[in-house]
Chain A
Amino acid sequence: MRCRSLLLLGAMALIPLPLLAQTAPTVGLRDNSPDFHALTGARVVVAPGQVLDNATVVIRGGVIEAVGANLAAPAGARVWDLAGKTVYPGFLDAYADVGMPTSVPENGDRGPVNWNRQVRSFTSAVEEFSDNGDRSEELRNQGFTAALALPRLGIFRGAGAVVNLGEGQPGERVVRGDVVHGLAMVRDNRAGPGYPTSGMGAITFIRQNLLDADWYDRAHRAWAAQPDGLRRPEQDRALAALVPVVRGDRPLVVETRDEDDFLRALRIADEFSLDLWLRGNGFEYRVLEQVRAAGRPLILPLDFPSAPNVSTPDATLGVSLEALRHWDLAPENPGRLAAAGVEFALTADGLSNGSDFLRNLRTAVDRGLPSDVALAALTTTPARLLGVDRTHGTVARGKVANLVVADGDVFANGTRILDVWVDGERFQVNTEDGLDPRGRWVVAGLGDSSLRGELQLSGQPGRLSGTFSAGGREVTLTTASLAAPSRRLTLSMPGDVLGQEGAVRLSATVEDGTLFGYGELPDGSRINFRADRAASTPETGADPGANGNGNGNGSAFGTGNGSAHGQGTASPTGDAFSLSMVDGRPSFAPVNYDDLPPAMEFGRNGIPDQPEHVLVRNATIWTQGPQGRLENADLLVTRGRVAQVGQGIEAPSGAEIIDATGRHVTPGLIDAHIHSGLSGGVNETGNAIVPEVRIGDVLTSNNIWMYRQLAGGLTSAHVMHGSANPIGGQNQVVKMRWGALPEELKFEGAKRTVKFALGENVFRNPNRYPNTRMGVEQIILDHFQAAREYVAAWDAWERSGQGIPPRRDLRMEALRDIMNGDISVQSHSYRQDEILMLMRLSVEAGFKVDAFHHGVEAYRMAPELAEYGAAAVVWSDWGGFKVEASNNTNYNVRALLDAGVVTSLHSDDSEIASRMNWEAAKMLRTGVGEEDALNLITLSTARVLGIDERVGSLEPGKDGDFVIWSHHPLSTVTLADETWIDGRRYYDREEDLRVRDDVQRERARLLQKVGAGR
C-alpha cells in the first residue's frame, strides 16, 4: 500500500491527473479549481539550517514541483506574493490523537479479542480514523500539516497511522498506516474496571502480554505444524497484533508521565528487546544522562506547568519547591536535551489548550532550544521517525506540498502563522500582517462634523479595548471589534465625551495608517470621520512588527557549569534572591540548578563521596554484634565496609576522622515495613492473588520521606505491597540512598520477598473471593496447587518437546519461586487464629512463612512461632483501630522475646519510619533491655529480611551503615547527627541546617519569579 502510493506520487509529478488517486465518482459538477501555485518572493527555510532568500515554491497537484531562489513563477500558476514572509516545511506532530475514538464499544469488542479490554492492540488508526470533529484545525493553526494519529484507549493501544491535517475523506488523509503500536504505563478506566489497578500491576501486565504474544505465535505455529490430537490454541487478535512488536519488527511507542515512567519503560524495552520509542513527559532534564544513553527515539511534549498560586501568603505556604523548580525549569527541558545531544521530535500532545503550542515552543527557544533544532524536531526528525521522510519534512522538489507561511521567524514572539498548506491546499490561519489597529489615532470629523479627539486602541487584535478622549475628557470604549477580512473596525462609547447623553457608534475601514469611517451620534446625527495614526510609538507590544526576529538572547541554559554534579545538596548557584528591573519589568538572574534526582526540597546532586577510610573516634558504640556495647571506642570504615571496631584504632593515612566524644554510634536503623517511595499505588486489587507484581518496578526517588527517614537514622527499609490480597505482590528492600536513581536504591543481593495478608483487609471487598478467613485459607492453598501443576506441565513439555508449548505465567512462576524458597513470605496478620492457620497451611502447601507482620496478637502465638521458626515483625504500640486490632498490648515484643521468637519492630508508616529509635525506646518501659531494644530495629530486622550478612550490626566486613547520635539513641532528646550508608555520609545535621536556609531562599526567589510571570 505504502509502496504503491509512493509510485503514484512520482507519477503525478509528471502527469498531474488528480483523479488517478481517487476512486469516488463525481457528484454534481467536478471541482477543477487550479491546483497550480507559485509562492514567490519568500524567505524559504527548505530544511533546518537551509534558507533561500527571495525564493519561489511551485506547487502542482499537491506536490512541490520546484523550489528555488529568484525563480520566476511559471506561466499559468496562481501567484502568491509572499515578499517579506517566511515559508517553512509543514510541521509534523509525532504523537497526536486526531480522529481517534475516545471510548470503547459499549457492548464489547467484536471478534476474538483479549480477555482484558486493556489490551486493544488489535485496533488500528487506519480503521478507527474519523474526520468527524477531529482536532486537525487546532493543530493546523499551530503550523502542523500532518500527524501520527494513535489510538489512545487501554494499555496496549493499537497501531498508529500518519495522516495529513487537511480536510477530506479519511481515505485521502491517511499517509501511512501501521507505523507504530501505542502503549500506556497505566490502566485506562475507559476500557473498564479490573486488573491491573496499580502502576506496578500495569508493568507486570505489559510484561505478561509481551510473553503471551510470543507464546501465541509459537503455540499457533506448533499447532499448525502438527495439529493432530492437539487442542486448538485460542484465537486472539490482540496478541496476534503484538507478535511483530515482540519480535522487534514493529516499534512500540510508550506514553510516559514522568522520569520514573521513562526509566521503567526503558527497562521493559531492554528485557524484551523492543524497538521502543518514548513519548516524553517534560521531566527529562532530571535524568538527562539516562535519556541520552538510552538513545531511543523521543517525542517531547511542551506542556509546561501553569504557575503555582502565589496570590496570598496562605497560598504560597502550600507551594512546594519541587513544583516551583519544575515550573521554572520545564521550559528549559528541550534546550537541555538538545545541548546533551539528544534528538527528539516535538508534539502538541498533552496541552490542555492546543493553541499554547507555539507560545510554549517560543518559550523553549527563548530558554535555550536552538531554532534549527526546534525546526528539525517538527519536520525532518518526525518525518524520518514515522517513515515518511521521502515525502515529508522539507521543502523540496517532489515532496508533498505541506508548508507553513509566517510573517517572520516562526520561533520568535509576535510572529503569526498566516497560512498552512496541506497537500497543496491553502488554509488561512491568520489574516495578513498590517491589520492591527492598536495604537493611538487622531480623529477628525469630515465635512461639518464636530467630532475631534484621540482614539487609543489596545488589547489583543481579537479582543480590542480602548479609550476616546476629547476636550480634556476621556471615556472607555464600550465595544471595539475588528472584522479582519473586511478590514472593518466598529466601536461604541458613551456620548459624554462629546457632551451628549447616549451612545456614539462608529464604524471605519482600516487602511495603511488611516481609518475612514462614519458614525451615529446620540442626537441621531450621522457623521463621517477620518483618523490618522499618531506619530508617537504605540504602547509596548501593540505593534507585532516591533518584535523582529530576535531569537531569545536570554537563554538561561548553557551558560553555567553544566558539569556540576559534585557534592553537596542542591541549591541555586546564583546568590540570594536577586531582582532587578528591566524595561519596567522585574528581571531575574538565570538559574543554574544542579538538578539530579531527587529534584525537590533537600535534593542532593547525586550520591556522596565514599572516603577511603572513615574513623569515628571516642564514641559509645553499640555494635549489636559479639563485641556488645563499647565505651570510648572507635569505628573504622574502609571503602564502604566496617574494618574494625574497638578502642584506640590507629587512623590510616588520609582517613576522614570524626570526633564523636560523648556521642553514640549505632548500626544504621532498618525498618521492616514501609510503603513510601513508590508510585502508582501500594495495592494491586485487580485480583486476590498477585505475587507477580513487584514494588521494585515502581520505586521513585522523588520521595521526601526518604530524606526525613535518613534524618532519623534509617539506612535500609523493606518497601512493601499493601494488604488487600491473600497473596500480594513482591516487596523491595532498599537502602536510603538519597540522591540515587530508583534502580540504585535497591539493596543489592537482598532476597526477594512477597507480601501475604490475612484477616479483615483481604475480605473487605464483598465482590471478590474470599469473604472469610476460611476462604483465605482455601484460595492460598488452591493457588499453590495450581503452581505445582504448572511446574509439572512445564517439566513434561521440556522432557518431551512435543505438542503446544506451555505459556509462561508470571503469577505461577512467582508461586513456584515461593515454594522453592527463592522468595521469602512476609505475611500481614492480626489475630492468633490466622497466624496459626498460615503456619499450618504452609506445611501442607509447601512453603515457609519467614515473618508475620503487625502480629497484634502474635504474643498469643509466641511458642508456636518459636517452634515453627517464623519471625514476628510488630508495632511498638499500635492497636484499637479496628476489631481485629483490639487485643493489642504494648508488651507484645516482650512476650515474643520471652518465648525466643526473632522479633523486629516496624513502622508501616512513613513518619514513624523517621524515628524508629523511639519506637524501640518505648519497649524499655515493658522491661526490654536497651541493646535488645535496639536489636528490634537493627540486627533482628536484618535477620527477618535475610540481609544480616550485610547490615544490622557493626562487625568487620559488614556494610558501613551507621548513625552518629547526639545522645543515647533511645533517649527522647537524641538527634541523628550523621547517617552513613556504604561508607558515605548521606545525612549530616549541620549540612541540613544550612540547606534548609537554601531551601527557604530558593523558594522565596522562585515565588517572586512566579509572581512576575514566566
Chain B
Amino acid sequence: MRKHMDMVTPTLPNRITSNPRTRMDHRTHPRAHPWTRPLGRFAAAAALAGAALLALPAGSVPGTGLDAQVPAPRQDRAVALVGATIHPVSGPAIQGGTLVFENGVITAIGTNVAIPEGAQRVDLSGKHIYPGLIDAWSSVGLFETGGIDVAIDQNEFGDLNPNVRAAVAFHPESRHIGVTRSNGVLVTVSSPSGGLISGMASAMMLDGWTWETMTIRDKAGLVVNWPGAQSPSNYNQALADLNDAVATSRAYLAAKDAAATEGRLFATDVRWEAMRPVLDGEVPLMVVANDVRQMQDAITWAEAEGMRIILVGGRDAGYIADYLAEKEVPVLLSSVNSRPGRNWEPVDHLRALPARLHEAGVRFGISGGTSAPYANRLPYEAGVAMGNGLPELEALRALTLYPAQFLGIDDRVGSLDVGKDATLLITDGNPLEYATTIDQAFIEGRDIDLMDAHRQFYERYSEKLRQLQGRPVL
C-alpha cells in the first residue's frame, strides 16, 4: 500500500504587497541548482534591494551588529486574498476561496464573498492560506543564549511562583522571533519552568514593538512541573507541597473575601492571590508530566481540586489513551519527532503517538517543547505524525485550533474564521512539509517582515563572497 507522493513542485510565489524593505525577489526558481551561480537567490535579492537593506537601523541585537526585524504597521486598509486554497482548519478546505480581513480581523471567508470597496485585492491562485501555527509550549522571548544564565528568563527562585507571568519578560527583539516566524509559527505560548509551580505561561503573537502589544493572553496557563516518582519519599513530599499550596490559596482567598465583607484590613500575598483564576477554573493548569504515574496522579489532583488541567509532555500518554479520552483531559505533546524512551519500544513509538491518541479520541496538540532557537522546527513535529498515521487535517489542528482551544485563545487565533485575527500564512503547500515555502505571513492583519537573523547572516556573508569575486582571500 505504498503510494508515491510527489513533492510539491515549487512555483513562483506571487508578490502581493510591495514592501521593498525586505521582500525577496522570487523570480528565480528557488531550488534550481542554486550554487551553479555564485550568488544565491537571497543574495541576489539583497543586491536588488541593497539600498533598503542598508537603510535598516543597526545594532539592536547586542554583539551582532545585526538588526531584528522591524515590526509591521497596523493594517490600514482591507485586504482580500483571492483565488487561493483556504485551509480554515475549523472546517474543510475551500478551493479558489476568498478571505477578507479588515482592522486585523477576518471579515469574510468563502467562495462567494463580496470584496469591500477600496480593499487591496491580491490574486493568490495556486497558493494556500493557513492559520498561523501556534507553539503552545515554548521559550521564545524568554531564552536567548544557552550557557549564560542571565540570558535565560524562565526559572524564578523557589518552588512556588504562580504569580510570575512570562509576558512581562518577553523580549520583543529576541533573535529567535524572526527565525521562528519564518517557518510559519506566528504565536507562542511562552512558558516559565522550574520549581513546582513555575508561573503563568503567556500567549504571544510574534510581532510588535513591545510585549504589551504582542500579548494575546498573559495568563494562558499555570505551569506546574509534576514531580518525578522515582524517589517515593521526595515524590510524596512534593505532592504534599502542591496540596498545601492549593489549600493555603483557598484559605487565603476565603479569609480575604471575609475580610472584605467585614471591612477589615487584609495583608496581601501575591502568590496566593495569583491562584484565584486557577481555582476558579478560568486559567488552566499546564502540568508537565511524562510518566504514566505522573499523568494519572496529576489528573487525580486537579480533579480533586476542581481545576482545569492540560497535560504537557505526555510521552507515555499512549499507554493510558483510553483513560485520557474518558477523562477528556487534553495533552500537549512535547516531543514527537523523537526517540522512544525505552529500548523495547518500537522505533516510531513517539512519531506514531499522535495517531494513537487520535484513534482513542484523546484531545491533543503538538508543541515544540524545546529551547527557543528550535521553535522553528515545530511544523516538522506535526509533519512526522502525519507520516505515521495522523490525518493531515488533525496534524494541522494539533498546531493551531486545538492548542488555541485548550488555552482559551481560540477567540483570536487557531483557525481562519470570521471574527478571528487575521493571523495567517500564505504558502505554496502544506506548511508541515519540508519542501513548502512560506511566502508571506500576516499577524492581526499586519504584513510581516519575513527577514530574520539567519537570512541576514547569510546575506552579509554572501557579500563577503561577492567582494572576493574568486580572488585569493589574502
Chain A interfacial positions (CB closer than 8 Å to B): 313-314, 317-318, 320-322, 600-601, 620, 662-663, 704, 707-708, 711-712, 760, 859-860, 862-864, 867, 877-883, 885-891, 894-895, 897-900, 910-911, 914-915, 918, 921-922, 924-930, 932, 966-968, 970-975, 977, 992, 996, 999-1000, 1003
Whole-angstrom distance between the Cβ of A386 and the nearest chain B Cβ: 40
Q: Give the distance in Å from the alpha carbon of A172 to the alpha carbon of B343 in the complex.
A: 53
| Residue from B145, B293, B438 in contact with A314 in the complex, judged by beta carbons closer than 8 Å | B293
Measured between beta carbons, the chain A residues less than 8 angstroms from B4 are: 620, 662-663, 967
Name A987's closest neighbour in chain B (CB-CB).
Answer: B347
In whole Å, how far is B437's beta carbon from the nearest beta carbon of chain A? 7
A663-B4, A862-B465 known; A921-B376 Cβ under 8 A? no
Nearest chain-A residue to B146 (Cβ)? A881
- Hey, which chain A residues are within 8 Å of B464, CB to CB? 860, 862-863
Chain B residue nearest to A926 in the complex (CB): B458
Tell me the complex Cα distance, A911–B292, Å: 23
Of the residues A883, A897, A972, contact of B432 by C-beta under 8 Å: A972
Q: Check A910 against B387 for contact (C-beta < 8 Å).
A: no
Q: How far is the CB of B130 from chain A (nearest CB, A)?
A: 15
* A864, A886, A899, A900 interface centre (most CB from chain B within 10 Å): A886
A707 touching B347 by the CB < 8 A rule? yes
Residues of B within 8 A of A (CB): 2-7, 30-35, 38-43, 64, 144-148, 175-176, 179, 183, 229, 291-293, 316, 319, 337-340, 342-344, 346-348, 371-374, 376-377, 380, 383-384, 386-388, 432-438, 453-455, 457-458, 461-462, 464-465, 468, 472-473
Closest to A971 in B: B5
Cα separation A704 to B384 with both chains bound (whole Å): 21
Task: Report how far A888 CA is from B66 CA in the complex, Å.
Answer: 13
- Chain A, Cβ-Cβ closest to B28: A927
In contact, A970 and B7 (Cβ under 8 angstroms):
yes
* Chain B residues whose CB sits within 8 angstroms of the CB of A318 once the complex forms: 342
In contact, A321 and B31 (Cβ under 8 angstroms)? no
Closest Cβ of chain A to B201, distance in Å, is 21
Excluding A927-B42, A928-B31, 12 further A-B contacts by CB distance (< 8 Å) are A313-B292, A321-B343, A859-B457, A862-B461, A881-B373, A886-B145, A894-B35, A895-B462, A897-B35, A925-B434, A966-B3, A967-B4
With both chains docked as a complex, state the minimum distance between the C-beta of B349 and any C-beta of chain A, in angstroms. 9
Most buried by A among B34, B43, B144, B380: B34
Checking B347, B377, B383, B473 against A864 with a beta-carbon cut-off of 8 angstroms, the contacting residue is: B473
B454 and A889 form a contact (CB under 8 A): yes
| A794 vs chain B, min Cβ distance (A) | 37
The residues of B that contact A921 with a CB separation of less than 8 Å are: 434-435
Q: List 9 A-B contacts (CB under 8 A).
A: A313-B292, A317-B292, A712-B347, A897-B34, A915-B337, A925-B436, A927-B31, A972-B380, A973-B433
Nearest 5 interchain pairs by C-beta: A880-B373, A972-B383, A973-B387, A662-B4, A891-B458
| Contact, CB under 8 Å: B179 / A890 | yes
CA distance A925 to B452 in the complex (A): 13
Q: Given A889-B453, A918-B434, do A972 and B384 touch, yes or no (CB 8 Å)?
A: yes
Q: Separation in Å of the A949 CB from the closest CB of chain B? A: 25
Q: Which secondary structure dominates where chain B touches chain A?
A: loop
Which B residue sits closest to A896, measured CB to CB? Answer: B35
B344 close to A320 (CB less than 8 A): yes
Q: How far is the CA of A983 from the CA of B420 in the complex (A)?
A: 57
Q: Please name all residues of chain A whose beta carbon is closer than 8 Å to the beta carbon of B434 when the two chains form the complex.
A: 918, 921-922, 924-925, 970-972
Choose one: A889, A915, A973; the contact of B386 (CB below 8 Å): A973
B344 contacts A601, CB within 8 Å?
yes
**Chain B min CB distance to A922 (Å):** 6
Cα separation A922 to B43 with both chains bound (whole Å): 19
Point out the residue from B5, B6, B183, B374 that lies within 8 Å of A925, measured CB to CB: B183
Residues of the B chain whose Cβ atoms lie less than 8 Å from the Cβ of A973:
5, 383, 386-387, 433
Select which of B3, B316, B347, B465 is within 8 A of A898 by beta carbon. Answer: B465
Contact of B342 among A317, A974, A992 (CB under 8 A): A317
Residues B473 and A867 in contact, CB atoms below 8 Å apart: yes
Task: From the candidates A600, A971, A977, name the one contacting B2 in the complex (CB within 8 A).
Answer: A977
Chain A residues lying within 8 Å of B473, measured Cβ to Cβ, are 863-864, 867
Partner of B458, one of A662, A864, A895: A895
B339 touches which of A314, A708, A996 (Cβ 8 Å): A708
In contact, A321 and B344 (Cβ under 8 angstroms):
yes
Q: Which residue of B lies closest to A865 (CB)?
A: B473
Residues of B close to A320: CB separation below 8 A: 342-344
Q: Which residues of A contact B33 (CB under 8 A)?
A: 929, 932
Chain B nearest CB, measured from A831 CB (Å): 13
Q: Which residues of B contact A878 (CB under 8 A)?
A: 373
Let me know if B291 and A314 touch, CB within 8 A: yes
CA distance A897 to B152 in the complex (A): 34
Most buried by B among A897, A921, A1003: A921
- B47 CB to closest chain A CB (Å) equals 13
Min Cβ gap B26→A in Å is 10
- Cα A887 to Cα B454 with chains together (Å): 8
Query: In the complex, A877 Cα to B183 Cα: how many Å?
Result: 12
Report yes or no: B339 in contact with A910, Cβ–Cβ below 8 A: yes
Assess the A881–B147 pair: CB atoms within 8 A: yes
Q: How far is the CA of A911 from the CA of B351 in the complex (A)?
A: 12
Specify the chain B residue showing the minimal Cβ separation from A879.
Answer: B373
| Chain A proximity of B335: nearest CB distance (Å) | 10
The answer to whether A317 and B5 have CB atoms under 8 Å apart is no
- The residue in chain A whose Cβ has the minimal distance to the Cβ of B296 is A314
Residues of chain B lying within 8 A (CB to CB) of residue A863: 464-465, 468, 473
- Kindly name the residue among B5, B35, B148, B340 whose own CB sees the greatest number of chain A CB atoms within 10 A: B35
Beyond A880-B371, A972-B387, whether A859 also contacts B458 by CB under 8 A is yes
Highest count of chain A CB atoms <10 Å: which of B342, B372, B436: B342
* A708-B345 Cα distance, complex, nearest whole Å: 11
* Nearest Cβ on chain B to A861's Cβ, whole angstroms: 9
Residue from A889, A900, A922, A992 with most neighbouring chain B CB atoms (10 Å): A889
- B176 CB, nearest partner CB in chain A, Å: 7
Q: When A880-B145, A880-B371 are in contact, do A889 and B387 touch as well, CB less than 8 Å?
A: no
Is the beta-carbon distance between B34 and A928 smaller than 8 angstroms? Answer: yes
CB distance from A419 to the nearest CB of B (A): 46
Q: Closest approach, in angstroms, between the C-beta of B113 and any C-beta of chain A?
A: 31
Q: Say yes or no: A918 contacts B343, CB within 8 Å.
A: no
- Minimum CB distance partner of B335 in chain A: A911
Shortest Cβ distance from B472 into A: residue: A867
Name which residue of chain B comes closest to A620, CB basis: B4
Q: How far is the CA of A863 from the CA of B468 in the complex (A)?
A: 8
Cα(A314)–Cα(B290), bound, Å:
12
Which residues on B sit within 8 Å (CB–CB) of A932?
Answer: 33-35
Chain A residues positioned under 8 Å from B458 (CB to CB)? 859, 889, 891, 894-895, 926
- Within the complex, what minimum Cβ distance (angstroms) separates B19 from chain A? 20
The answer on a CB contact under 8 Å between A925 and B437 is yes
Inside 8 A of B376's CB, which chain A residues have their CB?
877, 890
B-side contacts of A314, CB under 8 Å: 229, 291-293
Query: B384 near A600 (CB under 8 angstroms)?
Result: no
A880 to B337, CA, bound (A): 20
**Would you call B145 and A890 a contact (CB within 8 A)?**
no
User: Chain B residue with minimal CB distance to A970?
Assistant: B434
Known: A898-B43, A972-B383. A877 touches B374 (CB 8 A): yes
B292:A918 contact, CB within 8 angstroms:
no
Determine if B35 and A900 form an interchain contact, defined as CB atoms under 8 angstroms apart.
yes
CB–CB A927/B34 < 8 A = yes
Q: Are B30 and A927 in contact (CB under 8 A)?
A: yes
* Residues of chain B with a CB closer than 8 A to A867's CB: 472-473
Residues of B contacting A321 in the complex (Cβ-Cβ under 8 angstroms): 343-344
Distance (whole angstroms) from the CB of A704 to the closest CB of chain B: 5
Give the distance in Å from the alpha carbon of A881 to the alpha carbon of B461 in the complex: 22
A927→B433 contact, CB < 8 A? no
Contact between A898 and B457 (Cβ–Cβ < 8 Å)?
no
Residues of A within 8 A of B372 (CB): 880
- Whether A974 contacts B387 in the complex (CB less than 8 A), given A317-B342, A891-B454, A895-B458, comes out as yes
**Do residues B454 and A890 form an inter-chain contact, with CB atoms below 8 A?**
yes
Query: In the complex, how many angstroms separate the beta carbon of B138 from the nearest chain A beta carbon?
Result: 14
